[in-house]
Amino acid sequence: MRKPLIAANWKMNMLRWEAEELARSFLEKVPDLTEYTDVVLIPPYTVLDVVKGVIDGTNVKLGAQNVFWEEKGAFTGEISPGMLKDSGCEWVIVGHSERRHVLGETDDMVKKKARAALDYGLNVIVCVGETLEERESGKHIKIITGQVEIALSDLELETPHSLVIAYEPVWAIGTGKHATPDEANDVQGTIREITGNIFGDKATDVRIIYGGSVTPDNIKELIGESHIDGALVGGAGLKAESLAEIVKLSGE
Ligand code: 13P
């Protein structure tokens, strides 16, 4: 049985005082939450320490939004997996569509990041997803298959529950238009098949989650009517009330 995962990607938001207030207020609203759901807060690097200070001693985990694949050296502006662990992170996102589309991250880079992070003992959320144009032209399954196959190639999967694939259709991110349970199911099925081909029995424990305009109003429909194992939440994760509501509803 895979435990649901709700991860809140705060993207490039939250000054220090805002991060502290949000994390505190969220915790107050869901005091004993992680019996039934894994919860990860993923703030910008600059406030990792602030959020860590608030969630220390609780079941809520800390994550980062990106990582570089080298351990250390002359890579100005990059952050290594070891640095993330040193900052208290147990999770990291790789291959978010904003990094792919705004910053030109390639499938090959995503693969290197996923591998380095897993090798370092971080839990990894690998993001994949198609653009509107790719979906409308019927290419989405092919695109997602390519993204997943490249990202997971050469991975040694010692602990399958450390790997999460997030299906985040680009057209659903920040648009208020979420995938239907059928659409999410369809892609989830493809990803499940690919992970099965690559990892065999171990793939059963790999979680496949959905992201893109997830809110308290649609989380039950999405989780209840599909086989997805949780959500990667953007905008709704920037408010304590909505994030708490999503977490509670995901466990019902
Ligand atoms: P929204 O929930 O704001 O659509 O963002 C989703 C996302 O990109 C999470 O990583």
Cβ atoms of residues 206 and 163 within 8 Å: yes
All domains of the chain in start order, with CATH: 5-250 (3.20.20.70)
Q: What is the 3-class SS of 53-111, one letter each residue? A: HHHCCCCCEEEECCCCCCCCCCCCCCCCHHHHHHCCCCEEEECCHHHHHHHCCCHHHHH
Kindly give the number of the ligand 1 atom that is closest to the alpha carbon of 214: 2
pLDDT tens per residue across span 206-220 = 999 999 999 999 999
The fraction of the chain above a pLDDT of 70, given in percent, is: 98
Confidence (pLDDT) at 167: 97
User: Would the CB of 212 count as within 6 Å of ligand 1?
Assistant: yes
- 9 contacts 231 by C-beta, under 8 angstroms: no
Mean predicted confidence (pLDDT) in 51-66: 96
Task: Quote the ligand 1 centre to 200 CA distance (angstroms).
Answer: 30
**Rounded CA separation 190/69 (Å):** 27
Q: State the DSSP H helix or E strand holding residue 208, giving kind and residue range, or none if neither.
A: strand 207-211
The helix-helix angle for 240-250 and 16-29 (nearest 10°) equals: 40
Amino acid at 132: L
d(CA 78, CA 76): 6
**In the annotation, is 168 catalytic?**
yes
Q: Which atom of ligand 1 is nearest to the CA of 98?
A: 8
Q: 154: pLDDT confidence band, cut at 50, 70 and 90?
A: confident
- Distance from C-alpha of 8 to C-alpha of 5, rounded to nearest angstrom: 10
